[in-house]
Every structure is written in C-alpha cells, then in structure tokens.
Structure 1
Amino acid sequence: MHKSKADEWVYYVAEIGHELRTPLNIIKGFAELLDREVAGDLNPKQRIYTKKIMRESDALLETINQLLDWARISSDQLDLALAPTDLYLMGLEIQGQFELRMQDTGVQLVNDIPKGTQVDLDPNKFRQVLVNIVDNAFKFTPPGGSITLSIRDLAEGICLDIQDTGSGMTPDQLGHIFKAFDTASKNVEKEGHGAGLGLWIAKSIVEAHGGQLTATSTLGEGSTFTIYLPKEADEL
C-alpha cells in the first residue's frame, strides 16, 4: 500500500527518534558516572559543567520521547492494556516521582484522591498523562504553591482534577494548549523542555480511553486540568 506524505513523515520521525535516543542515553550515562566521580574527583567548575550536560540531556531526551509518542499516536499505534487501576496508589507513585522536584521548587504535590478509587484503564499510559500535566504545573507554580490531585464522583463516571496555584493562562493561551506543534502551545509548556507535545499527548491518551481532558484557568490564580473517565470498562 502506498504511503501518504504524512505517513512517511511520521515514519521518518519515529526512525530518527529511535536512532537519536541510543547515543543520547550513552552521553547521559557517562555524564552521570562523571557526576558520581567514578573516574576521579571533580573541581567545582567541572561539576557545574557535568550537571549542565545531564540537565540538557534530559531535556533533549524528553523532546525525543514526545516525538516518538506523537508518531505512535498519529499512526494509530496507541494500543491500550486495560486493567483495574487504583488512582489513589497511582497518585502516591506520582508524588514519589516528583519528590525531588518538590524539594527543589518548594511546591507541594498533594494527593487528595480517596483510597480505593478504581477505574479500568491502561496504568502505564495513564501515568504518563498525569506526569505530563503535573510536570507542566510545576513549571508554572511559584515556590510555596501547590498542585492537588482530587476526584469528583459523577453518576456516569469520575472527574480527576489536577489543580495548581500557578500563574494561570490567558483565554488565548487556553485555546492553544492541546494543539500539536503550535507556537502558543510550546509557550505554555515552557522552559525549553519537550516539543510542546506533552498536553496534546495527554489529551490523546485520555480520549483513547473514551474520556475527555479539559482545562480552565484564571490568569494570576492558577489552572485546573480535568480528566473525565467513564466508570464502566465497556464504555472505554
């Protein structure tokens, strides 16, 4: 079957992404060895340079991973492995993943999800949804602020809210945040990390579950991302 130009572009992005990821992981690995002083003591300037290599390697790896996710989703290769999943326990996992970030930024990540809240979903892919949204919230929330995960129970499903006390967004920004490769979207996913695809990927994964991802925001007061999920597995 003849591939369209769009299909060929997706294919080439995926191939190039995989080729780039291997040497980048090697660079990052050697930088980590240097940082642990496996090859000898570092002077203060060398330690600064090593930390910068590690930080920029992480940023580039995030960009590559986002492009690979975009390629998979765009080519309809997003296969879900549904299983009963405890959202409270997943909230604890997310807290653990961002523990160092909380220490570094002074922003608290609060898990207000009730214990025993279970939904049929793909735990690995849904965890990526939460990581993408929470990571973006940290970028916009000043020290002393908070990001809270909470649940609203509806008759036909549940709403998982991720609410931050950050800088918020203008109506124009809010209208672009879920668009792939959009300049305004990249500005919302700031600090040079990723390809501006994190929120688009999160929305695509939620919709693959039969749910919806929406956002509300007030400039200067913060934003709330809401994930709606149907309760019954046969609705997914």
Structure 2
Amino acid sequence: MITNLTVTRLNEPRSNGIVGFATATFDKTFTVNSISIRQNQMDGNLYVRMPQRRTQNGTYIDVCHPLSANTRNELNRLVLDCFNKNQKSYTNLEEQFSTNRQGVSVSAQNCVKYNTAETQSNVLGRMDLVVGDMVIHNAKLYANANGEPQLSLPSYKDSKGDYHGIVIPTDKSAFQELRNVAINEYNTEYKYLECTPNEMKALKENSNLRIKTKELNNGNIAIKFNAKDVAKINDIIQKANAVNNSITR
C-alpha cells in the first residue's frame, strides 16, 4: 500500500525523457527514491519507471518494484495524477490514523551466500526482501567490525563518490524488522526434493509447512523447504506412497 508520495517537476526535460521524479513510501516500512517520470519521445505519453541498476552483462533491472499489476497501476496512477495536477504530494489519509504496521508481511527469498575468504570482502550474501506487494532486490548482509551481520539496502554513488540511499526504511523498527528477516534467511538451511504429483498433494493436505515449488518437464514437482522439516516431509511422502501402493496392488 502506498502511504505517502512526493513528486518533483523538472524545470526542463532531460535528453533521456525524464520530466520529474517521485518518492514513494510503502506500507509505512520503506521509502523508494529516484522513481522517474518520463515522456515517451514517440507519442509524448508520460510513464513511470522504478529506479534501476546495471548488471554485469550490461542490462538494467529494477532495484525495487511492485509484484502485482494492481499495485503498479495504482503507483502509476497516483504519480502521474500528482504530476499532471502539479500536486507536490499525496498522503493516504486513512493510514495516518493507524499507528502500527500490523498485517504487513515481510519475507526474504533467493538468498545467495558468499565465501568471504574467496571474495576478500565483508559481504556475507545478498537476497530479495518482499514487503507486502513490493520486492526489494539485491539487499546485502555484510559483517561489521565486530563480525556482526548488518543489512545494506540498495543505494547509488554519485559523480562525487558519495552514496545515496534508493531504498530507505521509514524508522528504526522497520529497519530492525528487515534486518532480522534477512539474517534469518541467511542462517536458514534449505533442502531440495523431487516429488510426484501424488506426493505433492499429500504434502499440501497433511502439513502447513512453508514449501516452494517448481514444475519440472517430466511432470514432477521440485520442492524447496527448511532443512529442519526434512523428517516430517519424508514421513508424509512415505505414508502417501504406502497408501498409493496398497491401492494399486
């Protein structure tokens, strides 16, 4: 949910079509800077682009973006509405009367761990943080001077060499929650298993475990799960196969 928004018009459009910038706060948890408002040079229409970073292969990807079309459409609508009306800010008035962030889900995924000895860096790993209907890519954990893990959210370096935050937590408690989720994901060991559709059905019916799935070309399903749940998952699968074998005999 977009709780606050500020829009800045440029006095003159830039050569790349940028006519303004926006800053948006989502779910009272984090703020995204450097959202650009651009004009299509072919038809003159305005559109919104989330901040991007350049990958090693030269392509550009969004640093942070909505997961659903509804949230993206709402962000586009609010930003362009403010811009066209020359309105500098938008505030979700209903949300101003809410003093907590209850109901906002925060999770981490796609964690990549680094070998600090090989990389000769204090960066422990990177991952995606999902807050509500928004995903923050390339959040990093690094070891501070005391060896404790700290969270670093996406930023950019200007021509003077100074760093500026692209994604900024709204307050200390929001940052602490994001940090705790990131550390927990980094410390979690995962297991992988290939299941038949019948085994997957049994897992869904007999547990509320957090399992991620991917369909395979052979018709089976690859699952990713917390290593601490391996005994329970194996037990469910074994019982499902025993029942299936007794039926087919």
Q: Which has the higher contact order (CA 8 A, sep 6+)?
A: 1
Q: Structure 1 length as normaliser, TM-score?
A: 0.24
**Which of the two has higher C-alpha Rg?**
2
Relative to its length, the structure with more strand (as a share) is 2
